[in-house]
Amino acid sequence: MVSATAAEAKAVQSQVKRIIRTIYSSPSTHGAALVAGVLTSPELRDLWEQELTEMRERIHALRAGLVAKLATLGAPEFEFIQRQAGMFSYSGLTRTQVDRLREEFAIYAVGTGRICVAALSQRNLDYVAQAVATVSRM
């Protein structure tokens, strides 16, 4: 926020905090109503379950693809990634290796080495595998 004076900035910040508090303290019921609508409609629930299965299979395939590409690049053992589940994976990379991914390859991961598997795609899988293989050799 930009204000003409420090006092004005403080007043604006106070109002913004007040507005934010009401949003977080009283979340809308819209999302809950949507979920209830999907889960109570046989057609919508079937569609949701189908889409969920497709996403789960996509993420599983991306994990397998990443592990296979890392193996062909001679990277250290990463097979454990394929045994994990969910949208995120602990890569085993160190903070230094994660920093190199960000600085040298513009690939962002949490300092603990956690990566977002759901953000991978067939288009970026080779690039990510090459980058991980490179930093894992240090």
Q: What is the pTM of this model?
A: 0.73
Domain boundaries, given as residue ranges, for the chain: 1-40, 54-136
Q: Is the pLDDT of residue 28 over 80?
A: no
From residue 94, alpha-carbon distances to 15, 70, 111, 136 in Å are: 42, 17, 7, 9
- Residue 32 is predicted with a pLDDT of 85
Task: Please indicate whether residue 47 or residue 20 has the higher confidence score (pLDDT).
Answer: 47
CB 131 within 8 A of CB 105: yes
Secondary structure (3-state) at 137 = coil
Condensed to tens digits (0 to 9), the pLDDT of residues 66-87 reads 999 999 999 878 999 999 999 9
Please give the Cα distance from 138 to 133 (Å, whole number): 9
From residue 12, alpha-carbon distances to 4, 7, 17, 19, 40 in Å are: 11, 9, 9, 11, 44
Condensed to tens digits (0 to 9), the pLDDT of residues 83-103 reads 999 999 999 999 999 999 999
- Binned at pLDDT 50, 70 and 90, residue 2 comes out as confident
- Residue 29 is predicted with a pLDDT of 76
**Between the ranges 23-27, 29-33, 62-66, where is the mean pLDDT highest?**
62-66
Q: Is the pLDDT of residue 24 over 80?
A: no
Architecture of domain 54-136: Alpha-Beta Complex (3.90)
- Binned at pLDDT 50, 70 and 90, residue 136 comes out as very high
Residue 116's beta-bridge partner residues?
88
- Binned at pLDDT 50, 70 and 90, residue 64 comes out as very high
